[in-house]
Every structure is written in structure tokens, then in C-alpha cells.
Amino acid sequence: MTILKVVRYVILDVVRNRWVLAYGLFFLAVTDVLLRLGGSGPRAMLSLLNVVVLLIPLVTIVFGTIYWHGAREFNELLLSQPVARGTLFHGLFAGLVIPLSVAFVVGVTIPVLVQRAADGQTTKLLLLLLLAGCALTAVFGALAVLIAGLVDDRLKGLGIALGVWLVMTVAYDGLVLWVAMAFQDYPIEGAMLALSFANPVDLARVLLVLRFDVSALMGYTGAVMQRMLGTPLGIAAAIGGLAAWTIVPGLFALRAFHRRDF
Amino acid sequence: MQRVGDALRLAAAGGRVLVKPGLYLEPTLRIERPVTLEGEPGAILDGGGTHTILEIAADDVTVRGLTLRNTGPSQSEERAGIRAAGVRNCRIESNHLDQTLFAIYLADVQDCLVRANIVRGPESAQMVSGNGIHVWSSRQVQVLDNDVRGHRDGIYFEFVSDGHVVGNRSERSARYGMHFMFSNDCRYERNLYLQNNNGVAVMYSKRAEFIDNRFERNWGSAAYGLLLKDINDSRIEGNQFVSNSVGLYLEDANRNRVIGNTFQGNGWALKSLANALDNVYEHNIFEGNAFDVGTNSRSNVSFFRENYWDRYRGYDLDRDGFGDVPHAPVRLFALVVERAPATLILLRSLLVDLLDLAERVIPSLTPETLLDDRPLMKRPERQVSRG
């Protein structure tokens, strides 16, 4: 039961500092504008895709790193009480990821409901978008606590967080582009897919892009990817990949947390 | 009389044979005099799965209101629901054709009219299915308001001149919704081509006119809304290309005028190969396409004027309704994908958007002269109807 108390406290703390509220309002405004301008639901969802795969990682990793550093004194205080380190860690992590996810989900869902844009197609896309967004929040939340756990200096941690974000959203795609161009004469669809599994941002993006009906334009490549990722099994594998991206950094962060000297 | 065949043998020239409701299972019926063969509702001619059902072998024959079905498949003969060869002035109207190899087969005819027939094919692989409305080596054929579904090619023209194809609906063909070759001076108007396996392909023809047609949801790795191969001096005006893998594809197609069309939600709105010369694109709308224009050439050989591009980011200081900065519709990423298709996995990646932006500011790889000098600032008021 201690863990619930910790989670409750952290959630209250996170929500109190208004960042999360602004984050939720941002999604509310963006979704509302996109629905009004774009007309149809699916097109608005498609525009949201870019926001989701770029902004969620950025905000989560920056906010997470800062928050974790800021919570240090609180952690020291709690650890002087009979609270297990693992419990505190999980409580802190859940307290970080849950409010951000909720802000995102609520912010996106309200305009869709208010404007009655939720036809069958839109609902399906929306659900996948929400799922991918929450998964990315968890992944980058885990990366944030890992960074904060390994680096004591607050500014340095922030710099590393931004670096990680930049690598995953931009630099990594440069590598993918290079591989695709360098080996264009070979059947590399499988390798490309493996590469995208190795980066959570790419994984979420490809998963969403495939759903947004652009798969057919891809010809052979698209067909291969559609067959691997477009099926329920493929989606499950992608979700599994994103889960692995949460659990592995999370475990490292937990280990770092256990080894800390405070 | 119990048999349609007997009635047709006895009918006088200019007479009318009325088929009462019922199922008629007879050998191939052959019309050898100018008569009108008309079915009351429920009159069904059945081919028993073994042969062509009706053959028109005289001028001035009208076939109306019949249901013809079940020719059975064949690899060796071209069985048809209604077959007309070497005749003039035939009219085939308001018939139902169901599960025929070829539904309506015209060869070597002149001044024939095929109107308001409903054709339902087997929706099977192209190997074992024929064309819906098949016209070969004919002149002045009119194909109006038919509804064709599930054949190999919905509407097929080969060596036809002065044909009119108006108001038809062709969907779910195993190959092309419409396919024509070597057919000059034909006009295609207000047709709907929907979810055909490979879209519509037209080849080796001159002076064709495509007006106000709609090409929709032709998805697939080899699907094109409208594929033009070796089509010259033609007009493509007022058509809607919606949600196709490739909206309009030009290969070796020259001096065509592509005006006032709407390209919406396609993978590629327009693909023009380097051997498509002197085509003019004016007043078209490009919106919501993954790629607007694709080409495999660095030099430009076509003209873009006064189109509306939803990607245009320029401004209009003098308020004349046209952007002051030319628009370059070929994205760098489009060229990259053309060379290495596997890079499509990067679609909608921030990196790609950044590269596109850099290329737009300082063009180095995209065709420098492929520009729309006067892009429209506002989307023309033109509604995209629902199919």
C-alpha cells in the first residue's frame, strides 16, 4: 500500500506544478484546431501523428529529468522512513508517467468528442494514436529516470536528455536513410523493419503511418511492411517492442537507484 | 412458343420477339434478321455453363431487358453473354449479365449503343475471367450508363475510333477498370472507376478526352488511378483522383493538357517519367497527397501553371491571388524514394521534413525548372463529390 501512497503523492505534486495542465491544454488546442481546419477526422489524426511522435518524447524526457532531479530531497526524506527503494522507484515512475499520459489522452479525446468527429475510422486511428502516445510517454519516462539516476548534475542531465531526444527523432533516421541508400540494390525491407524496432520513435511512427492508409503507396516495401506490422500480430509485436523499450531502461534506472548513495 | 430460338427463326425482319418470364436453357441463340429481342422482367437466358448465350449477326438489332447468365469459364474460347460481330447499328440496353466470361463482346461493329446494362462478373482472378464490355476494332460505339463489377477489365477498347464512354461505373475489376489501346478520338466522360485492382490503363492512343471522371481507391503496389502510356494530344479535364496509390501516371505521353483536375489523398498525385514531354498542368488542385509530383528526371519537360498546392508556403504581396514565389512541387524525399523505395519507412520523419525544407531553400537535387510560377493562393471552389 505504500506504493499507492507514493503514487498519489507524486501525482498530486506533478499536477500541482501546472506543467501537466499546460501540456494537456496544448493537446486540447492542437486537436481542436486540427479538427476545425482539417475537416475530416482521419486527416486531423494524421496531422496529430507528427505532434505525437515529436512532442511527447521531448516533453516527457525533459520534464521527467527535471522532475526527478527536483524530487531528490523528497526521496531522501522518504528513504529515511521505512519505505523500500523499489517501492519508491515504482511509485515515482508511475507518478510521472500517469499524469502525462492522462493529460495527453484527455486533451486529445475531448475535442474529438465535442466536435462529434468520432466515426468508425477516426475512432480506430484515435485509439492507436492514444496507445502509441502513452507507450512513448512510458518509454521516454523510463529514459528520463535512467538519465536522472545516472547523472547527478541537473544541467548535464537536461543536456543528455535533449541529446537522446535529438538522436532518436532525427539523427537515427539519418542512419536509416544512409543504410537504405547504401544497400538499395538488396532486399532490405526486413532489415529496415529491424532498424525501426531498435528506435521507439521510429517504431511508433511506422506503426501509425501504416495505419493511415499510406501503406499502399509504398509498393513492394509497403507491402512487406504492411504484412509484418499491419496485422494484429505485428501491432502486438510493435507494442511489445515499445514495452521492452520501457522495461529495459527502467530496470537499469532501478539498478542505478538501488546503488545510489542517499 | 416455348423456345426463344424458334421465335427468332420465325420472326420477320423489323419484328419484335418478347420473352416471357421464365428460365430458358437453350443452345447459343443467333439473331440473323433485324429484330428487337425484348425480355419481360424475370426472363432469364441461361448458358448452362457451356456456351455463348446470344449472338447478333444482323444489322439493326436491339436486345433489351433480358437477364443473361452463366456461360461458364473457358480458357480456349471467348464465350460471351451477348456477342455482336461485323454488324451495324445494334442496341444493347438495360440487360442484366451475371457470371459470364465476357459479358458484352463487340467485334468489328459500327454505330452500336450499349446502355444501362448491369454486369456482374465472377470477381475471381484475371486468369479465368474475361472483360465486362469488350469492344474490338469498331467505330462510333457508345457505352453509356452501364454498371460493371468484378470482371478482368471492366471496359475494354482495342482499335476503336470515335467511341463514347459516358456515365459508367466500373468497380472491383481483377485488372483494369477500363483498358484501352490503339483507340483514337475517343471520349470518356463522367465515369466512376472504383477499387479496381490496377486502376485504369490507357495506351497507344491519340486525342482521347477524359472529362469529369472520378478515379477512386485504386490501391495497390501496381495500381494507378489513370495510367497513360503513349497517349498523345489528349485532354484530361475536371477529373477527380481520390485515394489512389498513384493518381495520374504518365509514361511516354506527350502534349497532353491536364486541366482543372482534383488530386486528393493519393500516395502520389502525379508521376511523370522523363519521357513524358510537353504536358501542360493548369488549375489543378493538389491536396492531402503524400507526394504531389514524382519524376525520375532532373530536367523538366512539362509546364505547371496556376495550380493550387496545399503545400505552398509562399506569399502574395500584390494581392492578385497568385503566389509571388514559384512553387517547387517535387519534394527531395520524393526523389529519394524513387531511387531507394525502402526509404519510405522514413515517411513523416522529422529528418525528412528538415531535408525537404533545406532543399526548398537551396535546391540542389530536385528539378530546378519544374516550378509552378503562379501558384494559386486560395483553393478554387470545387467540391469533391462522394463516390
Contact call for B343 and A223, based on CB within 8 A = no
Residue in A with minimal Cα distance to B348: A50
Distance in Å, alpha carbon of B228 to nearest chain A alpha carbon: 18
Least confident of A179-193, A211-225, B221-235: A211-225
End-to-end CA distance of chain B: 45
* Of A173, A213, A221, Cβ closest to residue B349: A173
At residue A42, the 3 state secondary structure works out as helix
- The residues, any chain, with a CB within 8 Å of residue B40's CB and separated by 6 or more, are B18, B19, B20, B21, B65
Residue B247 lies in a domain: no
| Mean pLDDT over the full length of chain A | 86
pLDDT at A230 over 90: no
| Residues of chain A contacting B354 with CB distance shorter than 8 Å | 170
* Of B267, B349, B350, Cβ closest to residue A216: B267
Q: pLDDT tens track of chain B, all 387 residues?
A: 788 999 999 999 999 999 999 999 999 999 999 999 999 999 999 999 899 999 999 999 999 999 999 998 888 888 999 999 999 999 999 999 999 999 999 999 999 999 999 999 988 765 678 899 999 999 999 999 999 999 999 999 999 999 999 999 999 999 999 999 999 999 999 999 999 988 899 999 999 999 999 999 888 777 899 999 999 999 999 999 998 889 999 999 999 999 999 999 888 899 999 899 899 999 999 988 888 998 887 777 889 999 999 888 889 999 999 999 999 899 888 888 888 888 888 888 889 888 888 888 888 888 878 899 999 999 888 766 544
Residue B22 lies in a domain: yes
Distance in Å, alpha carbon of A4 to nearest chain B alpha carbon: 38
pLDDT tens digits, B32-72: 999 999 999 999 999 998 999 999 999 999 999 999 999 98
* Of B245, B342, B350, Cβ closest to residue A216: B245
pLDDT of residue B155: 95
Interchain CB contacts (distance < 8 Å): A and B: 90
Within B33-132, strands assigned E span 36-39, 43-46, 54-56, 62-64, 67-69, 80-85, 91-93, 96-98, 102-107, 113-115, 118-120
Residue-wise DSSP of A196-234: HHTSHHHHHHHHHHHHTT-GGGGHHHHHHHHHHHSSHHH
**Distance separating alpha carbons of residues B74 and B97, to the nearest angstrom:** 17
| Residues of chain B contacting A171 with CB distance shorter than 8 Å | 351
pLDDT tens digits, A232-251: 888 888 889 999 999 999 99
pLDDT class for A59, splitting at 50, 70, 90? very high
pLDDT of residue B385: 57
pLDDT of residue B279: 94
Mutation target vs A (from B197, B344, B354; most A CBs, 10 A cutoff): B344
pLDDT of residue B387: 45
Contact assessment for residue B92 and residue B63, using Cβ atoms and an 8 Å cutoff: yes
Residue in B with minimal Cα distance to A54: B350
Q: Grid coordinates standing for B302?
A: 512539362
Q: Grid coordinates standing for A7?
A: 503514487
Distance in Å, alpha carbon of A214 to nearest chain B alpha carbon: 6
Contact assessment for residue B376 and residue B286, using Cβ atoms and an 8 Å cutoff: no
Question: Which neighbouring-strand residues pair with B56?
Answer: B31, B84
Residue B21 lies in a domain: yes
| Residues of chain B contacting A176 with CB distance shorter than 8 Å | 343, 345-346
Range of the domain at B184: 1-197
Of B241, B237, B211, B238, which Cα lies nearest the Cα of B226?
A: B241
Average pLDDT over residues A54-62: 94
Distance in Å, alpha carbon of B345 to nearest chain A alpha carbon: 7
Contact call for B221 and A223, based on CB within 8 A = yes
Distance in Å, alpha carbon of B308 to nearest chain A alpha carbon: 16
pLDDT tens digits, B186-200: 999 999 999 998 889
Residue B147 lies in a domain: yes
**Distance separating alpha carbons of residues B376 and B275, to the nearest angstrom:** 28
Contact assessment for residue B315 and residue B292, using Cβ atoms and an 8 Å cutoff: no
| Residues of chain A contacting B293 with CB distance shorter than 8 Å | none
Residue B352 lies in a domain: no
**Distance separating alpha carbons of residues A242 and A240, to the nearest angstrom:** 5
Distance in Å, alpha carbon of A107 to nearest chain B alpha carbon: 23
Which parts of chain B fold into alpha helices (H)?
4-10, 332-339, 350-361
CATH of the domain at B84: 2.160.20.10
Residue B33 lies in a domain: yes
**Rounded (5°) CA angle B207-B213-B215:** 110
**Distance separating alpha carbons of residues B205 and B228, to the nearest angstrom:** 9
Residue in B with minimal Cα distance to A197: B345
| Residues of chain B contacting A218 with CB distance shorter than 8 Å | 221, 267, 341, 344, 347
Residue B331 lies in a domain: no
**Assessment of whether the complete model's pTM goes beyond 0.90:** no
**Distance separating alpha carbons of residues B144 and B329, to the nearest angstrom:** 37
Q: Grid coordinates standing for B3?
A: 423456345
Question: Which neighbouring-strand residues pair with B44?
Answer: B23, B67
Residue B336 lies in a domain: no
A interface residues, B as partner, C-beta within 8 Å: 43, 49-50, 53-54, 169-171, 173-174, 176-177, 180-181, 184, 188-189, 192-193, 195-196, 202, 205-206, 209, 213-214, 216-223, 225
**What is the domain partition of chain A in residue ranges?**
2-259
Cα A47 to chain centroid distance, Å, stands at 17
| Residues of chain B contacting A209 with CB distance shorter than 8 Å | 347-348
Residue with cell 469529369: B212
pLDDT of residue B66: 95
Domains held by chain B: number: 1
Cα distances (angstroms) measured from residue B201 to each of B55, B83, B230: 29, 24, 11
Q: Grid coordinates standing for B199?
A: 486502376
